[in-house]
Chain A
Amino acid sequence: MKILVSVKRVVDYNVKVRVRADGSGVETANVRMSMNPFDEIAVEEAVRLRESGVATEVVVVSAGAAQCQDTLRTALALGADRAVLVETGAELQPLTVAKLLKAVCQREQPKLVLCGKQATDDDASQTGPMLAALLGWSQATFASKLTVSGDRLTVAREVDGGLETVECLLPAIVTADLRLNVPRYVTLPNIMKAKRKPLDTVTPEFLQVDVTPRLKTIQVCEPPARAAGRRVADVAELVAALSSRGVIA
């Protein structure tokens, strides 16, 4: 079974982003970038499935600028076998990414696609289910445990009220949640090995996908700042402050 994993290059989750003064977006120049944390979890899961003999090959795919190669090399260092970059300078929205991934799936014919449950930049949480719909495949979002048996997949999902278990027919799309696994550390020897693994580049034109965005960003602004609070010395002062403000009886 071949597994395809989508990986997005995003602003590192430790960076406190700044909104550009002209309101056109968030400053990404000279900012530390890394793999979307959920995609790292997805890659780890795919590599584990290959290591346990369930999968035969793990192909990682990223769409975006040439620098996405770094993200793909990280995925290869985590243990993926091969990478595909869909190179474009265009602004990519989830529907477009889903169409690009669909085109790659049609060429690669994977049995399982793993995506992150959300990208930490746009916080959209759309690409996985969109891809599933475009392919007419089953889906399991927010996965915290995944088992493959024959042509079926059993997935524990983190849902609002607790956990839900679903059984999906393969081929399927699964989106990775935080507790699916803890990704391994990338070691130096594996980084060296990753440099020799194959990385192909294609373009949206080659895949015959129109990348024109459907949503126009009118403005990006800072959320309203909270008014400065105050320190209270002890519990008595806290309780007095809360009751005079009317938030406790």
Chain B
Amino acid sequence: MRVLLLAEHNNDTLDPATRSALTAARQLGGDIDILVIGDACRPVAENASRLAGVSRVLWVEAAHFREPAAENLASQVLAVASGYSHVLAAATSMGKSVMPRVAAVLDVAQISEVIGVLGVDTFSRPIYAGNATQTVQSFDPVKVITVRVSAFDASDEGGAAPIEPVEAVSDCGLSRVVGRQLTRTGRPELGSADVVVAGGRGLGSRENFIALLEPLAQELDAAIGATRAAVDAGFVSNDLQIGQTGKVVAPRLYIAVGLSGAIQHLAGMKDSQVIVAINKDADAPILQVADYGLVGDLFEIVPALIDALR
């Protein structure tokens, strides 16, 4: 068995999502090669080579991989994929754009958002916004998988894998990235934060959202998240949406403020270790999954909570 893991990075540092996907890869057994595709991304290859359980780092550099298009990433993966029994990536927006292309060209199924490795060909994954868990077995010669990051702990360092340069495929010219507007919050990254403070429509406005949740997050060194309703209303940027179609998080502590707990939101946070909900409606569904529910007006409770934490 040989596993190829596609790395997620920004040409400088390896994304923690890849370290979680590596943990899933290690549960398969066999040799694991990490594929780093980028431009001037040697530091990433070095990062990857230090991770425990890695056999080799395959390192590809080309100018068109600076801001890579999914079409080019997929053709690079395909160029090295032969001989591997498993091709993995984290289920990030990159992984979800590239891996289906890889699977289709190999004429094999893709298995999305794997949360459990039950054997070399058997995996579990959530369906219906996490309201059911499906166990699937693949009969394809190659298993192409995306891994749900929140379901696996990040692998540690402790390795010293060789870094092998690989020739880059040429730019297929189908599409190119012409701009990026990345959100900089100054807060811990949502996907890997230990504590998440999430707000919903109940906050009422962008001003309230920031005035109440920023200091709360500050006290707890937490990442900030939001519901779709809060994002649609412009309280925060889209990449902070948690749920079926947003980020999936499983922090040690999740504080839900002024959000109802729709199925689609629960899908992204119900595996958190401890859930606290602050809501004025005693019947809000979020209170049914909360370990600690506080029924009342968030505009009184949140400032009091910030005071109590200081």
Which residues of A are at the interface with B, using a C-beta cutoff of 8 A?
11, 13, 16-17, 19, 26, 93-95, 98, 117-118, 120-134, 137-142, 144, 154, 157-169, 172, 177-179, 213-223, 226-227, 229-232, 234-236, 238-239, 241-242, 245, 247-248
Contacts and interface: CB of A to CB of B under 8 A. Distances in A.
B295 A123 contact: no
Contact of A125 (B112, B126, B220, B253): B112
Interface stretch (B27-35, B40-48, B101-109): B101-109
Nearest to A214: B109
A235 B308 contact: yes
A17 B275 contact: no
Interface residues of B, number: 83
B104 A130 contact: yes
A178 B245 contact: yes
Given A129-B97, A133-B104, A166-B175, 4 more contacts: A160-B94, A166-B69, A215-B111, A223-B270
Contacts of B305: 235, 238-239
A11 B108 CA distance: 26
B178 to A, nearest CB: 5
Contact of B292 (A11, A93, A238): A238
Contacts of A231: 287, 292-295
Which secondary structure dominates chain B's binding surface? mixed
A239 B301 CA distance: 12
Contacts of B111: 215
Given A120-B244, A141-B70, A167 B176 contact: yes
B173 interface: yes
B133 A139 contact: no
Interface stretch (B49-57, B135-143, B163-171): B135-143
A129 B179 contact: no
Given A125-B96, A159-B239, A217-B135, A130 B110 contact: yes
A247 B175 contact: no
Given A140-B175, A169-B173, A95 B103 contact: yes
Contacts of A130: 100-101, 103-104, 110
A19 B103 CA distance: 29
A168 B181 CA distance: 18
Contact of B228 (A131, A133, A137, A178): A178
B128 A229 contact: no
Contacts of A120: 128-129, 244
B291 interface: yes
A226 B247 CA distance: 20
Contacts of B304: 234-235
A95 B104 CA distance: 7
Contact of A139 (B70, B110, B127, B253): B70
Interface string B114-141: 0000000010001111111111111110
Contact of B178 (A123, A162, A167, A177): A167
B175 A219 contact: no
Contact of A165 (B94, B110, B178): B178
Interface string B223-258: 000001001100001110000110100001100000
Given A133-B101, A179-B238, A218-B136, A165 B177 contact: yes
Contacts of A167: 175-176, 178
Contacts of B220: 248
Given A167-B178, A178-B245, A229 B292 contact: yes
A208 B39 CA distance: 42
A184 B295 CA distance: 36
Given A134-B104, A141-B70, A169 B175 contact: yes
Nearest to A213: B109
Q: For the complex of A and B, list the 3 residue pairs with the smallest distance between their C-beta atoms, beginning with the closest.
A: A138-B174, A165-B179, A214-B109
Interface string B159-202: 00000000000000111111111110000000100000000000
